[in-house]
Structure 1
Amino acid sequence: MRRFKQAVSLILVIVLLFPATSFAISIPDELKLGKEYLQLIKNKGVILHDPVAQKMIDIVGNAIVKQLSPQPFHFDFFMINDDTFNAFATPAANIFVHRGLIAALDNMDELAGILAHEIGHAVGRHVSQSIDRSKVVAVGSLAGMLAGVLVGAAAGSSEAAQAMTIGSMAAGQSAMLTYTRENETEADQKAVLFLEKTGYSPRGILDSLLKIRQTDYQGIENIPDYFKTHPGTTARVSHLSGILADYKPALNKPAPPENFDYNMVKYRVIGLYSDPDTYIPKIEIALQNDPDNVALHYGLGLLYGRTTRMNEGIEQLNKALAKDPFESMILLELGRLYIRNTEYSRAITILDSMADDPLLGDWAVFNRSVAQIENGNLSAAQKGLEHVLGNGKPGFEKANYHMAEIMSRQSKQALSNYYLGVYYARIHDEQNAVRQLERALDTLDDEKMREKAQNELENLKGKGKKGAHQDNRM
């Protein structure tokens, strides 16, 4: 314990006496770049809006940020819909976690370790340093290049998947925006300090590195993306092992913030978004060895539900529910599978029971509205969808589609065109969005709705002009 405290003290001295000093862009310029980058990513639809996983990431990330001295940037956390093991910081303290990383880790300490490291990069302004080293990269085009690499990877390009984020650009660009080994060491040192104050174990960062390497380190061609974008892995593991060799939690160690059942979140992410053919055999084998594991039943049920094995999916979710009858994650997905299995009344009963859930209530109302449409209760469905849309939370794009369906069934074609146009706009299908909104404006007689449609149309056309301008500039 004494050696650990000495090591932490030395780290603190190094960080305070030798801060990074060379920056090519000002804080306002970095803020502008970060905002532009984030908007490009949002426009491409690669951010995954899962309320449970997002809440867990936010809780862990914000617990670390809370320990920091005043910062020039506001920290925000996002999940990328990509199955690789990766996490990264971008300009202006936006931190991204790939869903594949959630699937690879096993507990909150490991997740906290990865997030603390990325927060360390942001605090050290290492992104700004990397831009300084890349004198030839124009700041005005940097966000577009970074977004293009990220979007290509999330769309399934294996070449782009190897170039995820600032660590590696496309061919010929990889040396321009890379962290140095000194950056990595500094981020690790900061992470140890941050974690010691949060209640999460500093061992989490070392355990996460070892776990990722053991899982997927199969030779030079298969090095995980995280290691490609974070150089000096062997040295990092050795350095952290030395620092943490004698680590013991302090007697007055703070309790971690609100906890999650990490395995439930992990298997939710696997079950809803990962490849069923890859994970179904793995979880089936795991259940043979651990038949009472609620998270495994939950994850397997979700995976089955995405195949032709719908009834088996419902069976697995009911097994999970029998072991944990009040778990809202299970209730929500069971209701959703009942809808897909055309058991609408049963779905409505389950979803009614959790409509006031603080985290998943809006999702329960949304899915209940879908079931009510199928049961012919259009007024109740419309009320529920209006409630969801009024809250303005991300991830509910399809609520507009179902509103269009209700309007069509009620022979309100202009309103149907409006909601369908908004739906297409939210999923970034600009061509169909413009077509539907123009049709709505042809016949809409409600002045308030006409104004909304016009605003949507003007926003779409404005984005189109801006995108064309950026393409010409690049």
Structure 2
Amino acid sequence: MASSFADNNELPDLGASALTVLSIEKEKQLGEIIFNQLQGRASLLYDPLVMEYINSIGNKLVANSQDVKFPFTFFTVNSPDINAFAFYGGYIGVHTGLIANAETESQLASVLGHEIAHVTQRHLARRKEASAQTSNMTLAGIVGSILLAAISPQAMMASMMATTAGSQQAMINYTRSNEQEADNIGMNVLATAGFDPYAAAEFFGKLQEQQRYQTKLAPFLITHPLADSRVTDAKLRAQQYTKKFYADSIDFLLMRARILARYIYDKERVVELFEDLVKKQHGNKQFASQYGLALAYLDTGKLSLAAALLDELDQLSPNNLYVLDAQSDLYIAQGKPDKIIEKLTYAYQLRPNNSVVTLNYANVLLKSNNTKKAISILEYYLLVKPRDFLATQLLSDAYKADENLIRYHITSAELSALRSDYRSAMKSVDLALNLLTAEQKAEVKRIEALKIKYRERDKYIKNIKGF
């Protein structure tokens, strides 16, 4: 279950400052390093429903893009900031605050399309080449800037202010050029994928209007400068497409309601806010608001109200994964996890590799003390998705509950490696080795080889300045 990077002995040279050394393969490896660093530092959101949706809409846009050189990974940062960012190797992050502020699915897609264009046009690699012409900045320094931008764009700007004036001006000019190119390509991708091309201008205009009443720039505007001409250009560019109505998918409405209920709204007012929304809305929007209200009831301990509303939603939309996930949480909160097992078993038969179904099923099995079945399901799932952080964490818990301490320590090591915490990974490997007997020579050799890989990567990461 080790990552593809962990299985590759060839590490990219991060000290060089020439673009020519950054091949596509090295860019992919570098992206994985940065993502692992983010898993260790940033508040990444390990919510299967949100992750499934973001990757679904993102990959739909990628399928309609040109110059795609590697698979894309989309992820979410649990932060109220309005922000999104892209980095090497097809990794694109979006903050929960941006999702909450996107009023339509096309507005959210317009941001993702813009970030996809940054990646396909290799803007980071090109920006790195431009910066190398005005300073001795290395690739490692840019990696540090990406981490700062993801976690705190304000800190990134403070860091940039410490550079020379000439370097700053070159970076600003290059950023403007990149943004214009990403706007053009992103809109084409948006329209080709079946989303509203007018949504980009709508979202830009909304952000611009919000900033008129605020002294602090939204993080998205720090990393994506928004001049007045940019909104106008987006409106003019959209006019080449026929203006028509684009309906939001039910998945978008449910996902956004989930974001608002669990990650944005104040817990003291979340029930009141969703009760008000339910009264005002109709159709799919009302269904999504009812789902948000059910989560609000659930998360504030109003379990009987949550149960009644979820039963109603289940009747309206049988086999809905959002409702199934909430019902799983409900039965666990009620101390009756076995009550949902039959329903999850059926869902698993229909969708054996779906992360929402699999992780809920495994979690409920663990809560029901059926650890052997949970382990079997998670081991199979991780063969297909070996870098799933939450699944690896659940498997580690399952091995511990099963008192399989050797596998528990090995899986804990893999979990640490997914965060680039190789020192913790090596400690877990040592604990596993101490439990092995002389008769288990093959297993000893395999685990010792794993420790050597972790040691190499720990040394490598520690030598990268900016981390």
Question: Across the two proteins, how many residue pairs are aligned to each other?
Answer: 433
Q: Tell me the residue number matched to 1:8.
A: none
Amino acid in the other structure paired with 2:201: L
Amino acid in the other structure paired with 1:82: N
Q: Measure how far apart 1:192 and its partner are.
A: 3.1
Moved more, 177-186 or 96-105: 177-186
Q: Measure how far apart 1:343 and its partner are.
A: 0.9
Q: Tell me the residue number matched to 1:261.
A: 251
Superposed, 1:200-239 pairs within 5 Å as 200-214=195-209, 216-217=210-211, 219-239=213-233
Contact 2:114/2:183 (CA < 8 Å) preserved in 1?
yes
Alpha-carbon separation, structure 2, partners of 1:428 and 1:128 = 23
Q: 2:452 aligns with which of 441, 447, 458?
A: 458
Amino acid in the other structure paired with 1:76: F
Shift in alpha-carbon separation, 1:169–1:205, aligned structure 2, 3 A: farther
Q: 2:276 aligns with which of 265, 268, 285?
A: 285
Q: Measure how far apart 1:416 and its partner are.
A: 4.1
SS of alignment partner, residue 389 of structure 1: helix
Q: 1:386 aligns with which of 369, 379, 397?
A: 379
Q: Tell me the residue number matched to 1:329.
A: 322
Alpha-carbon separation, structure 1, partners of 2:91 and 2:369 = 44
Alpha-carbon separation, structure 2, partners of 1:397 and 1:193 = 38
Contact 1:417/1:439 (CA < 8 Å) preserved in 2?
yes
Q: Measure how far apart 1:427 and its partner are.
A: 5.3
Q: Tell me the residue number matched to 1:406.
A: 401
SS of alignment partner, residue 222 of structure 1: coil
Alpha-carbon separation, structure 2, partners of 1:29 and 1:392 = 25
Alpha-carbon separation, structure 1, partners of 2:435 and 2:240 = 74
Alpha-carbon separation, structure 2, partners of 1:310 and 1:448 = 51
Alpha-carbon separation, structure 2, partners of 1:357 and 1:100 = 33
Moved more, 132-141 or 338-347: 132-141
Q: Measure how far apart 1:263 and its partner are.
A: 0.5
Q: Measure how far apart 1:220 and its partner are.
A: 5.0
Shift in alpha-carbon separation, 1:190–1:368, aligned structure 2, 3 A: closer
Q: 1:186 aligns with which of 172, 178, 181?
A: 181
Note if 1:109 corresponds to 2:103. Answer: no
Note if 1:437 corresponds to 2:429. Answer: yes
Contact 1:421/1:436 (CA < 8 Å) preserved in 2?
yes
Contact 1:131/1:177 (CA < 8 Å) preserved in 2?
no
Shift in alpha-carbon separation, 1:200–1:382, aligned structure 2, 3 A: closer
Superposed, 1:65-76 pairs within 5 Å as 65-70=62-67, 73-74=69-70, 76=72
Amino acid in the other structure paired with 1:345: D
Contact 1:113/1:191 (CA < 8 Å) preserved in 2?
yes
Shift in alpha-carbon separation, 1:362–1:131, aligned structure 2, 3 A: closer
Give per-residue Cα distances to partners, 1:240-294, cap 9 Å, x unaligned. Answer: 22333574259xx9x99x9663111222334454465387153343223238722
Greater relative contact order (Cα < 8 A, sep 6+): 2
Contact 1:104/1:212 (CA < 8 Å) preserved in 2?
no
Contact 2:19/2:129 (CA < 8 Å) preserved in 1?
yes
Shift in alpha-carbon separation, 1:375–1:294, aligned structure 2, 3 A: same
Note if 1:299 corresponds to 2:292. Answer: yes
Q: Measure how far apart 1:461 and its partner are.
A: 2.4
Amino acid in the other structure paired with 1:282: L
Q: 1:80 aligns with which of 53, 76, 80?
A: 76
Q: Measure how far apart 1:327 and its partner are.
A: 0.7
Q: Tell me the residue number matched to 2:93.
A: 96
Alpha-carbon separation, structure 2, partners of 1:52 and 1:440 = 34
Alpha-carbon separation, structure 2, partners of 1:171 and 1:302 = 44
Alpha-carbon separation, structure 2, partners of 1:270 and 1:452 = 46
Give per-residue Cα distances to partners, 1:131-183, cap 9 Å, x unaligned. Answer: 344232523323431243046x2xxxxxx24356xx88555259374454343
- RMSD over aligned Cα, in angstroms? 3.7
Contact 1:131/1:137 (CA < 8 Å) preserved in 2?
no
Give per-residue Cα distances to partners, 1:3-28, cap 9 Å, x unaligned. Answer: xxxxxxxxxxxxxxxxxxxx962383
Alpha-carbon separation, structure 1, partners of 2:325 and 2:183 = 39
Contact 2:422/2:454 (CA < 8 Å) preserved in 1?
yes
Shift in alpha-carbon separation, 1:456–1:349, aligned structure 2, 3 A: same
Contact 1:217/1:224 (CA < 8 Å) preserved in 2?
yes
SS of alignment partner, residue 318 of structure 2: coil
Superposed, 1:2-151 pairs within 5 Å as 25-26=19-20, 28-29=22-23, 32-33=26-27, 35-45=29-39, 46=42, 47-70=44-67, 73-74=69-70, 76-83=72-79, 84-91=81-88, 93-134=90-131, 135-150=134-149
Structure 2, gaps ≥5 residues long = 1-16
Contact 1:297/1:316 (CA < 8 Å) preserved in 2?
yes
TM-score (normalizing by structure 2): 0.78
Amino acid in the other structure paired with 2:396: Y
Amino acid in the other structure paired with 1:288: K
Contact 2:33/2:420 (CA < 8 Å) preserved in 1?
no
Shift in alpha-carbon separation, 1:288–1:191, aligned structure 2, 3 A: same
Alpha-carbon separation, structure 1, partners of 2:464 and 2:141 = 11
Contact 2:321/2:356 (CA < 8 Å) preserved in 1?
no
Note if 1:397 corresponds to 2:389. Answer: no
Shift in alpha-carbon separation, 1:423–1:245, aligned structure 2, 3 A: closer
Shift in alpha-carbon separation, 1:218–1:342, aligned structure 2, 3 A: farther
Amino acid in the other structure paired with 2:448: Q
Moved more, 423-432 or 433-442: 423-432
Contact 1:37/1:147 (CA < 8 Å) preserved in 2?
no
Q: Tell me the residue number matched to 2:8.
A: none
Alpha-carbon separation, structure 1, partners of 2:121 and 2:358 = 43
Shift in alpha-carbon separation, 1:357–1:270, aligned structure 2, 3 A: farther
Alpha-carbon separation, structure 2, partners of 1:419 and 1:91 = 27
Amino acid in the other structure paired with 1:88: F
